[in-house]
Amino acid sequence: MFAAERHRVIAGRARSAGRVDVLELSRDLGVTPETIRRDLTALAGQGLLRRVHGGAVLVEMLTTEPELATRMASMTAEKDRIAAAALREVPSEGTILLDAGTTTARLAEILPTDRLLTVVTNSLPIATILSTRPNFTVLITGGRVRGATLASVDEWAARSLSEVCCDVAFLGTNGVSVGRGLTTPDPPEAAVKRAMLHAARRVIALADSSKVGRDYFASFGRLTDVDVLITDSGLDEAEATTIAAAGPKVVRA
């Protein structure tokens, strides 16, 4: 196979999976790992891939993240069903963490007002939604506000989360896969999600089915870190079984 042909194959795999692995490509294409590394370097020079340890990731998966308004209008029925299922995991009283995200915002909107809850969030929209509810104490993390998600990120946010212990954390994610766990494009936001994951006794991940099988640049948790993954019925049973075998209970709403 000529170099140009290998480049087409590698680029196709990267667009399909979001990343490629040197050893897998070496085995499948019948060339040495050194040859694959040169191919990846060439594709990186064209701006298609970004080299990472052991392989490369699609540049789109590093930087492309839809605007908040676009994400809010996407898969709305599925997100409503996911939020309704997540409501069963909310205690009648106690402390919960709500991560920034459009599905977690749906959950915030339907939280019953008769529950005595302390809500910790890094989301400006969620804090606004809940701030007038009389039975809720709302605490927002500090830090830099990231425009793409209106989430507070960086060290101030992570430090405040390191000082709390909550009953349940509800986390959003851009990608969920058996191989890479929970991923998101932005490393500072991933760091805050990771801090949330470690600040709760139970972790509930909320992700519509379009996010399953996708990997992004920054990993913030393994599937074994998640107690329950709530998704929608668009995820088929075989995929749900595979994910459940890797750790979390899977609920298809």
DSSP-derived pairing of the beta strands 49-52 and 55-58: antiparallel
Rounded Cα distance, 97 and 140, in Å: 10
CATH 3.40.50.1360 location in the chain: 68-252
Cβ-Cβ contacts under 8 Å for 128 (sequence gap 6 or more): none
**pLDDT of residue 205 exceeding 80:** yes
DSSP-derived pairing of the beta strands 55-58 and 19-21: antiparallel
Nearest Cα to Cα of residue 104 among 181, 174, 207, 17:
207
**DSSP conformation class of 232:** -
The yes or no reply on domain 3-63 and CATH 1.10.10.10 is yes
pLDDT digits (tens, 9 = 90+) for 207-248: 998 899 888 889 999 999 999 999 999 898 999 999 999 999
Rounded Cα distance, 4 and 204, in Å: 45
Rounded Cα distance, 9 and 12, in Å: 5
pLDDT digits (tens, 9 = 90+) for 138-180: 999 999 999 888 999 999 999 999 999 999 999 999 999 998 9
Q: How far is CA 133 from CA 101, 111, 125, 140, 232, in A?
A: 20, 10, 14, 15, 29
Q: What's the angle, vertex CA 174, arms to CA 113 and CA 15, rounded to 5?
A: 160
* 68-252: CATH topology: Rossmann fold (3.40.50)
- Please state the separation of Cα 194 from the chain's center in Å: 10
Rounded Cα distance, 102 and 166, in Å: 21
CATH 1.10.10.10 location in the chain: 3-63
